[in-house]
Structure 1
């Protein structure tokens, strides 16, 4: 009896959400939802989880539990390059969503900035291999790798968000970039547009490949060739979206036969582009229709209000955390999957049929 009491005491002092999940026979993400938002879990499952939590003495004080059992409760979020993202609120919204979900799951967030240099990569790898973090969500297209060490072989559960890295063996949460842009390009074609101007992100970037691919698919479906679209940009990262838009406006001004519809791969690009071409006397959407990608709140307050494809960042953040916590709870590698959460078009006054 005394021995059993001792074992129970150890469980109570170090119970983690993963322990509750195993005892209740459910996924760790289900435990997270049941404890944080009971209404999202059916009554029978919730009862099993509550019973397991009581038996193990589980409490939401994640930091204290982690210190007692020698396990980190910190999840590392790896961001690409500069933390400056212009008017786009995608990254801040992503971080807010991830942080909220992690807190509900009993974990804390730590931001690591991948600056594409050996120092930052080594720092991230030291954290991963040193046991300082329990898992990672990466928003960069490249995994840190220095001196034969790679984040991929660190043993950490890893989820890629915004970028599809399922081919590299990572669970990935993305939106339907290609389909969303294809649909909006098809709508512009339906309105009568036949000449397009595309503001590109960095050439070869996952988002640019997918979004431009959507434009080409819409053109092909309408019997139009790639000659119907003029590309501008492709040399700067998305952090320089305002600069890309300004340069694109200069490129646009030099064209003899002006496109009647503009598709920008970020809101920042569209905002600066519109500002510059309006100075030349062109009107939106009278002379040219404009649509962008991201869904930044500032688009509503532009003149005219900009149509934009809104990324479902809150849902994507929750999905990424759910996948990561499930992987942590299982303590084994799970098959890489690609979770796609659909974006939606917010239609405003920047789109209309062409004059001619």
Structure 2
């Protein structure tokens, strides 16, 4: 038996974690924490540990260390199905932000698709109950559940991203959907617009409820009624945003009193709507102003560049990771938390004053 084996079992030939701890003059647990979660050790101590590790040529095997102490260093990201991931303009940006934050904290990322089929939900639950993952960030308004089992029942720390699940006891990181779209609508009213087309997301969806409420608040504040807005969409999920925008053109053309401004609840909807409406002979913004929600980079390269409400994806990703790792470190049930990070209205050439 190797009597010099590191108590943390870091599966490392040569220098051990204990050697690093002795040289740095700190506890082994402090070395472990500094390597796995650098942000949770003060800079001075971290510098001493890094210098000692470099001097000794110590490079830990993070996966082996996690397995040896019986704790996974993998965080599961639960997406609402591959079609959504493929079509969404901002999900890749959010994932990049989360992955960057997790790497900085010594964790790996695993992606699971929640397509509401029993097989996929059972697979996710097996990962949760089997100890394969340490925590989860979910992009859905509902937790997977099969045979009465859910990730929460496994004692797995969970954070919801983009969807507010705080009422269900799940800490959530969201943006200010209602206030952001209220500000965008207020800007259109300031420019002189009095008739609007609202391209809706799926009926009853958290985002759509909040965003339409923001439109109404702006109308009422501007002395207008709900009759000032016509609604298209509501019957397709957000992953079908391009199709929703195309259908909205047909609805727009059928209106007797055509709106002078369009408010789309996703960039996908606005992009396809603008393309089709221009083919129909209408000018943007000459005949019609358009603003959307998400803030995807492609909006800048539309013709004309599309005004959009930019979601703070990097900040939201960092906040979600911080919430989750706090829960993991504290080993206690997370309180009901709702973290709101404001979005930003980016004004571009797709909006202007209406024709007189």
TM-score normalised over the length of structure 1: 0.87
1:60/1:186 CA distance change after superposition, 3 Å: farther
1:84/1:162 CA distance change after superposition, 3 Å: closer
Partner of 2:43: 46
Moved more, 283-292 or 150-159: 150-159
Partner of 2:229: 229
Moved more, 178-187 or 86-95: 86-95
| Cα deviation 1:183-221 (Å, max 9, x = unaligned) | 010111111111110000000111111111110111111
Offset at 1:171? 1.0
Give the conservation status (yes or no) of the 8 Å contact 1:137–1:161.
yes
TM-score normalised over the length of structure 2: 0.87
1:61/1:176 CA distance change after superposition, 3 Å: farther
Offset at 1:84? 4.5
Partner of 1:307: 307
Map 1:73-92 to 2 at 5 A.
Answer: 73-85=73-85, 88-92=88-92
Q: Does 1:9 align with 2:6?
A: yes
Map 1:234-249 to 2 at 5 A.
Answer: 234-249=234-249
| Correspondent of 1:33 among 35, 39, 42 | 39
- Output the CA distance in 2 between the equivalents of 1:236 and 1:202: 5
- Output the CA distance in 1 between the equivalents of 2:207 and 2:27: 36
Offset at 1:316? 0.7
1:32/1:218 CA distance change after superposition, 3 Å: farther
Give the conservation status (yes or no) of the 8 Å contact 1:21–1:49.
no
Offset at 1:51? 5.9
- Output the CA distance in 2 between the equivalents of 1:351 and 1:194: 14
| Cα deviation 1:62-90 (Å, max 9, x = unaligned) | 21211222211111100002344566431
Partner of 1:42: none
Partner of 1:204: 204
1:47/1:343 CA distance change after superposition, 3 Å: same
- Output the CA distance in 1 between the equivalents of 2:88 and 2:78: 18
Offset at 1:53? 8.1
- Output the CA distance in 2 between the equivalents of 1:78 and 1:86: 14
| Cα deviation 1:254-303 (Å, max 9, x = unaligned) | 01100011000011100110111111211101111000011111111111
1:87/1:308 CA distance change after superposition, 3 Å: farther
Structure 2: runs of 5 or more not aligned: 12-16, 18-25
Give the conservation status (yes or no) of the 8 Å contact 2:245–2:273.
yes
Q: Does 1:150 align with 2:156?
A: no
SS at match of 2:6: helix
Give the conservation status (yes or no) of the 8 Å contact 2:88–2:268.
yes
Structure 1: runs of 5 or more not aligned: 36-44
1:196/1:22 CA distance change after superposition, 3 Å: farther
Looking at both structures, which has the greater relative contact order when contacts are Cα pairs under 8 Å and sequence separation is at least 6? 1
1:124/1:21 CA distance change after superposition, 3 Å: farther
Cα-Cα RMSD: 2.7
